[in-house]
Amino acid sequence: MTAPAHESGEITVGGTTVHRLGFGAMRITGPGIWGEPRDRDEAVRVLRRALELGVDFIDTADSYGPYVSEELIRDALHPYPEELVVATKAGLCRTGPDAWYPVGRPEYLRQECEMSLRRLGVERIDLFQLHRIDPLVPADEQFGLLRALLDEGKVASVGLSEVSVEQIEAARAVVPVATVQNLYNVANRSSEPVLEYCDEHAIGFIPWFPIANGALSSGRGALGRVAGELGATPAQVSLAWLLERSPVVMPIPGTSTVAHLEENCAAAALRLSAEQFAALSSGT
């Protein structure tokens, strides 16, 4: 199969239809999501190979590096294929490896949008996401800035990250919300109410940590058993479960190697039986 990601099904985000298995571009940066990757050439190969495998949704953020991920995406893929959607985020400031601090002042978010436009080499960002709601800034001011960017044509659609149902509803009173990106995987379903809300309102749900940074690859319990039955890896089964969970789910597994990328994309072709899905859902 030349484009396995196409087996994941389709979803429309901000008026553009993409395949549901995308690529998260956090891991193509350095350790601690800080600085340049150890192997820049491999990072470029990963990005180009993702497109060859049928990926047409790439998720990044200004804070990955910071800036390194966006710059790599432009270096590897610009000019972008018409079908490719590149999503980015703003709202987390970096002071060092593994250090993340919410900053939601409207002038800061606008500045980061302008800089992302420049780094990505585009006139309009396909999907611009608020990385975190800053608790020190009135939420309506942050949502209002997203609305302004949408009205100005600087972004095509708007998303949120790590939010509750109540926060989504508050945002939607100000600006249309195309996607929500929350922590969610087969082992951590604390965002189940948010996913159910997204399902009900046809909002794309992007689960970050879809395979828990590799923690779900050990294959204990139902995950290992189903993987054995399908001749797949536990990580692949984790991704297949997410794709089966709801038609609005858009997993974005990330990696820094081509081999791991190919393994992840192959998960789109896995099909779980009703019994296997139920066993994974219940953890038995």
> CA angle, corner 238, sides to 235 and 240, nearest 5?
110
Minimal CA–CA distance to 46: which of 30, 74, 25, 66? 25
| Rounded CA separation 135/67 (Å) | 24
Q: Given the residues 64, 67, 184, 197, select the one marked as catalytic.
A: 64
Length of the chain, please?
Answer: 284
Contacts of 92 (CB under 8 A, 6+ apart): 61, 63, 100, 101, 102, 103, 131, 132
- Say if residues 60 and 73 touch (Cβ distance below 8 Å): yes
3-state DSSP assignment of residue 98: coil
DSSP secondary structure string, 114-180? HHHHHHHT-SSBSEEEESS--TTS-HHHHHHHHHHHHHTTSBS-EEEES--HHHHHHHHTTS---EE
67 is annotated as an active-site residue: no
Dig out the tokens for 21 from the structure.
């298995």
| Rounded CA separation 154/146 (Å) | 10
| Rounded CA separation 100/134 (Å) | 12
Residues assigned a catalytic role: 64
